[in-house]
Amino acid sequence: MSDLEKNNEHEEEHFEYDGGAAVVPTDKIEDPGLEPHRPRMTDKDPKAAARAEKQVAAMFVISIIGAIVAVWGYVAFPIVGDDLSNTRNNALWVGVGMALSLLGLGFGAIHWAKTLMPDNEIVEQRHQSRSEPETRAAAVDILNMADSESGISRRKLIRRTMFGALAFLPIPAIVLFGDLGPAGVGDKMRVTMWDRGVRLTRDPSGVPIKASEVTVGSTFHVIPDGLNDLYHKLDEKAKAAVLLVRVNPSALNEAEDRKDWSYDGIVAYSKICTHVGCPVALYEQLTHHLLCPCHQSTFDLANHCEVIFGPAARPLPQLPITVDEEGYLIAQSDFLEPVGPTYWER
């Protein structure tokens, strides 16, 4: 009887399953025990062992070659100049080399362990997770001692003020982090750069757009005049981006109170999807559908961009536009509702 088997027997003597609240089956299947040991080819045949040894060595050699390939790739394809194919080759060979180097080492080690290292089966029994009674009693003693020495049960004043202090501790964090959300940013979520008289200009050049330049079927990607002069222009662009489209005026079904928001078939809508804020700009000229590329929300431009498909909950906000005396398109006001995804204050 080996030491291992003795050990197993010893464990089994006082090992009992604690079923806890579970139903313990009385007719449980007998433990079938270990399968009979099956010797490997490398145990039986010295030639197979020699072959396995060579295989492991070959994998380690591949690992060495991989490391060399990685260095060669790095040196042979320096990322210099305008030739983008250098970047591609550099990344490719450094990556392939390092992958070979790691995989060769790993595969070699595992193959070595599986074929040549001892393969006798070992059993390790599980222990109960509950501690011994002495350990548990000692833990209770420590807690009791802490209670009596600190007097936390007796000294009510200290206990209550301590809990109070703990309750107040996170309040600064809550107040500070609260300012990150829309509740703390004032009217930033409601207000964009658009205002009465702001010219509609081309993205990215900032050249103003004349109404006569917008032919039927045209789309212009629009930013407000002056955006390019701002330091934080992306912050403003993210809210103020607008898609300008001219359709045949007879194709528009305009609500009575929004009839003067368009100019001779030219309509301007926020490009920020009301679902999660992707830029909605896939405009189909014949169907007047606007598609959001992220989640396929589809808006019907002819009907005030109402949602006809997809997860968006609200129509895209319309920018009321008109022309100034020089014929340039201008905004009548800011958007009359907040652009972009819904947040809890609306």
Kindly list the residues in this chain that would bind another protein in the complex (CB under 8 A).
Answer: 38, 40-42, 84-85, 87-88, 91-92, 110, 114-115, 119, 202-204, 210, 212-221, 245, 279, 281-287, 289, 291, 293, 296, 298, 309
Cβ closest to another protein, residue 67 vs residue 291: 291
Report the nearest approach of another protein to the CB of residue 201 (Å): 12
Report the nearest approach of another protein to the CB of residue 226 (Å): 18
Query: With contact defined as beta carbons under 8 Å apart, do 13 and 6 qualify?
Result: no
Cβ closest to another protein, residue 7 vs residue 296: 296
Cβ closest to another protein, residue 11 vs residue 60: 60
The backbone region for 169, taken as left when phi is positive above 0, alpha when psi lies in -120 to 50, beta otherwise, is: alpha
Three-state secondary-structure class, residue 290: strand
Report the nearest approach of another protein to the CB of residue 116 (Å): 9
Report the nearest approach of another protein to the CB of residue 175 (Å): 39
Cβ closest to another protein, residue 283 vs residue 335: 283
Cβ closest to another protein, residue 19 vs residue 33: 33
Cβ closest to another protein, residue 192 vs residue 298: 298
Pair of tokens at residue 94: 């450094």
Cα–Cα distance between 72 and 90 in angstroms, integer? 9
What does R_g of the chain's alpha carbons equal in angstroms? 37
The DSSP string of 127-191 is PPSSPPHHHHHHHHHHHHHHHHHHTTTT-HHHHHHHHHHHHHTTHHHHHHHHTTSGGGSTTTTT-
Cβ closest to another protein, residue 86 vs residue 332: 86
Q: Among 103, 109, 101, which Cα is nearest to 68's?
A: 101
Cβ closest to another protein, residue 98 vs residue 191: 98
Three-state secondary-structure class, residue 62: helix
> Residue 59 belongs to what H/E stretch?
helix 46-76
Report the nearest approach of another protein to the CB of residue 266 (Å): 13
Report the nearest approach of another protein to the CB of residue 52 (Å): 8
Cα–Cα distance between 253 and 17 in angstroms, integer? 75
Residue type (1 letter), 188: K
Cβ closest to another protein, residue 129 vs residue 215: 215
Report the nearest approach of another protein to the CB of residue 134 (Å): 40
Residue type (1 letter), 133: P
Report the nearest approach of another protein to the CB of residue 258 (Å): 22
Cα–Cα distance between 48 and 42 in angstroms, integer? 5
Report the nearest approach of another protein to the CB of residue 117 (Å): 10
CA separation, residue 244 to residues 42, 100, 270, 281, 312 (Å) = 76, 54, 9, 10, 20
Residue type (1 letter), 93: W
Cα–Cα distance between 234 and 209 in angstroms, integer? 21
